[in-house]
Amino acid sequence: MKCTINRRAQFSASHRYWLPELDAAENQRIFGACSRFPGHGHNYVLYVSLAGDLDKYGMVENLSVVKQVIKQEVTSQLNYAYLNDAWSEEFKQTLPTTENIARVIWQKLAPHLPLVNIQLFEHPELWADYQGNNMEATLTVKTHFSAAHRLAIPSLSFEENQEIYGKCARPNGHGHNYHLEVTVAGEIDSRTGMLVDLGALQNAIDEYVVEPFDHTFLNKDIAYFAEVVPTAENIAVRIADLLRSPISQLGAELHKIKLIESPNNSCEINCRSIKSATEKVSQQTAMVSS
């Protein structure tokens, strides 16, 4: 029986984004505050995912062995270290960005463990995943906005809507503190170590989603939701459509949208499997209305 297991580890380290062939102004333009001397630090959290058949002891891998391998190959070398120097050969050509650190950790562990994914959190709102695909990785940014909505199909009566949506159909609506995870995919640049310009990505998310959606009543303030019911699922697919083109212009591909409506409810959209989520939602709404 195939099974996937995950082992958590952590280390604290500092790094600096700086290319010696560029002057200070150009490094500042590309890397922003991350180019400052002598660098900055993070409490990194690492998840190592392994897969395989269960052995006669009921394990994919002996976790004591896994723990020792991770410590020997990664954490003992990186904990309380300056990454640019700790793995100077690995980060001489390609800078120690979150996505590139994840890639190098894979290279360190792959000879010893049956890896399927390396997930590295730089902090709770930024992390990278790497699965051994050359220079390809994913990068996730987490943000939030607050908004109100009402779940009701305009063409149906209150009683009909209440039968479908329950309390969420009440006339005056209700609100949520939404948490949004935007995952992009692309190639890690062989020099900068960046999959995408992180500042530009965060600006795009703010411009197209957070600022327009924050502190609104979605049904009334966002034209799209005048006819489309703003369920968490429909909000997520709308966000996917809003971000797909701006992220493409940054040289990356929108990979996944995860919208957390509450601690009990969340949804995910695989953005590589759909071309136009909004078009599909509009068609479904038309079918229900008719």
H or E element at residue 4:
strand 2-15
Is 267 an annotated catalytic residue?
A: no
Nearest Cα neighbor of 126 from 50, 229, 45, 228 is 45
Is 61 an annotated catalytic residue?
A: no
What's the Cα-to-Cα distance from 117 to each of 2, 192, 236, 270, rounded to whole Å?
Answer: 15, 22, 25, 18
- How is residue 153 annotated by DSSP? -
**Tokens 């992009």 label which residue?**
184
- 32 Rama sector, left if φ>0, alpha if ψ -120 to 50, beta otherwise: left
Give ∠ CA 143-148-154 in degrees, rounded to 5.
Answer: 130
Is 261 an annotated catalytic residue?
A: yes
What's the rounded Cα separation, in Å, for the pair 255 and 240?
A: 9
Q: Catalytic one among 40, 123, 174, 215?
A: 215
Nearest Cα neighbor of 130 from 87, 186, 168, 55 is 186
What's the rounded Cα separation, in Å, for the pair 72 and 59?
A: 21
Both tokens assigned to 150: 């009402």
Q: Catalytic one among 90, 99, 122, 261?
A: 261
Q: Considering just the CA atoms, what is the radius of gyration of the chain in Å?
A: 22
- Please check whether residue 200 is in contact with residue 107, taking contact to mean a CB–CB distance below 8 angstroms: no
In degrees and rounded to multiples of 5, residue 40 shows phi and psi of -145, 165
Q: Catalytic one among 168, 227, 267, 268?
A: 168
By annotation, the residues acting in catalysis are: 168, 215, 261
